[in-house]
Amino acid sequence: MIRASSVFASEDIGHLQRRILALARQMNAVIVSHNYQRPEVQDVADFVGDSLELARRCAQTEAEVIVFCGVSFMAENAVILNPSRQVLLAEGTAGCPMADMIDDVDLREWRERYPGAAVVAYVNTTAPVKAESDICCTSANAPRVVDSVLNDQVIFVPDENLAGWVARQTAKKIIPYPGFCITHRRLIPEQVRRARQLHPGAPVVVHPECLPEVADMADAVLSTSQMVRFCRESPADTLLIGTEMGLLHRLQKECPGKTFFVLSPGLVCPNMKRTRLEGVLRTMEERRNQVTVPEDVRVKAQQALERMLEVA
Ligand code: 13P
Ligand code: SF4
């Protein structure tokens, strides 16, 4: 178990952040960051949030350029929802292994196997997979989205753990695709048991990408930004967190005086951690890593994402 530690910006970090912010003004760019980014990257962003909040924010922005500090499927969401903007992925090699566990060919095969089922795609999917889906969901709205479809059967892709968590809350028959998050899977029940012994009474809050045995042990199963709200409102002064440890930076900023422990040292997403301030600056200076989606795919994926935004 790891105690969150404060991160102080060094002079170099401050200098890079000032250059990034000046360039953002010059380019009319908005910088958005997922909750798992490095602290100094989160601190330079105009907006930090979970997948749902980032999708909403990017759909609404008036800025000409969106600089996305996160992984590729999230930047694709920005392109899909706001195609007139230039979207730059701050770190071009940052992908999501879970999103890569299914492609559109796999999904079409599953559709043929279960012809009466609707397809709900977690946003952690590529644009072609979204384009083959009926509706998208995020960890913040998955049960509500599943209940919104008319079909009794739902193929849920690609996260089997999120699918299992949804299945326990809906009357619909969920057909899970066998994908998973390599990071959240590292948190095991024994680590939760040990943390509870060390901190009796401290609430355990985990992400639905965790193993079902872990989710069943938690006091709350929430998206990353829902966790921030839960911790802010909780009367507890110590909380045990089961998600990628980048979230602890936001938790400490928004809940001063509370103590957070991350439940496993394995809760680090290597892809989220690839983004560094130097890379953000270079990406902006060179306008590199522009994310594009073929228009026919984009239009179909947009329908699936917009249906989700209507439900949520
Ligand atoms: P959130 O939407 O809860 O921020 O999760 C995104 C993600 O990639 C979790 O691993
Ligand atoms: Fe993908 Fe897991 Fe990283 Fe989220 S934490 S971006 S699901 S690998």
pLDDT, mean of residues 25-29: 98
The per-residue pLDDT for range 71-123, each reduced to its tens digit, is: 999 999 999 999 999 999 999 999 999 999 999 999 999 999 999 999 999 99
Residue 7: pLDDT above 60? no
| Residue 312 confidence class, pLDDT cut points 50, 70, 90 | confident
> Is the pLDDT reported for residue 261 higher than 80?
yes
Instruction: Determine the average pLDDT of the residues in 279-286.
Output: 98
> Which pLDDT score, from 0 to 100, does residue 216 have?
97
Ligand 2, atom 1: closest residue by C-alpha:
96
| Residue 107 falls in which region: left (phi positive, over 0), alpha (psi -120 to 50) or beta | alpha
Tell me the CA–centroid distance for residue 22 and ligand 2, in Å. Answer: 30
The average pLDDT across 44-62 equals 95
96-99 contacts at long range (C-beta below 8 A, 24 or more positions apart): 96/71, 96/72, 96/124, 96/271, 97/181, 97/182, 97/271, 98/124, 98/158, 98/159, 98/179, 98/180, 98/181, 98/182, 98/209, 99/71, 99/72, 99/73, 99/124, 99/125, 99/126, 99/129, 99/158
Region 21-44 average pLDDT: 98
Mean pLDDT throughout 154-170? Answer: 98
Ligand 2, CB within 6 Å, residue ranges: 71, 96-98, 124, 181-184, 209, 244, 269, 271-272
Region 152-166 average pLDDT? 98
List domains and CATH numbers for the chain: 10-95+272-286 (3.40.50.10800), 99-181 (3.40.50.10800), 184-262 (3.40.50.10800)
Dist. CA 190–CA 179, nearest whole Å: 23
What pLDDT does residue 8 have?
Answer: 44
Give just the sign of the alpha carbon dihedral 142, 145, 150, 155: negative
pLDDT at 6: 40
Pocket around ligand 1 at a 6 A CB cut-off: 35, 50-51, 124, 138-139, 181, 207, 209, 223-224
Mutation choice for ligand 1 from 223, 229, 248, 305, CB with most ligand atoms inside 8 A: 223
The mean per-residue pLDDT over the stretch 194-222 comes to 98
Question: Measured from the CA of 183, which atom of ligand 1 is nearest?
Answer: 10
Give the per-residue pLDDT at 93: 98
- pLDDT computed for residue 67 by the predictor: 98
156 pLDDT more than 50: yes
- The answer, yes or no, to whether residue 3 has pLDDT greater than 80, is no
Written as one string, the DSSP assignment of 137-201 is E-TTTHHHHHHHSS-SEEEEESBHHHHHHHHTT-SSEEEE-SB--TTGGG--HHHHHHHHHHSTT
The ligand that comes nearest to the alpha carbon of residue 101 is 2
Mean pLDDT estimate for the chain:
96
Q: Is the pLDDT score of 242 beyond 90? A: yes
pLDDT higher than 90, residue 9: no
What pLDDT shows up at residue 215?
A: 98
Residue 227 pLDDT > 80, yes or no?
yes
Q: What is the pLDDT of residue 5?
A: 43
Percent of the chain with pLDDT over 90: 96
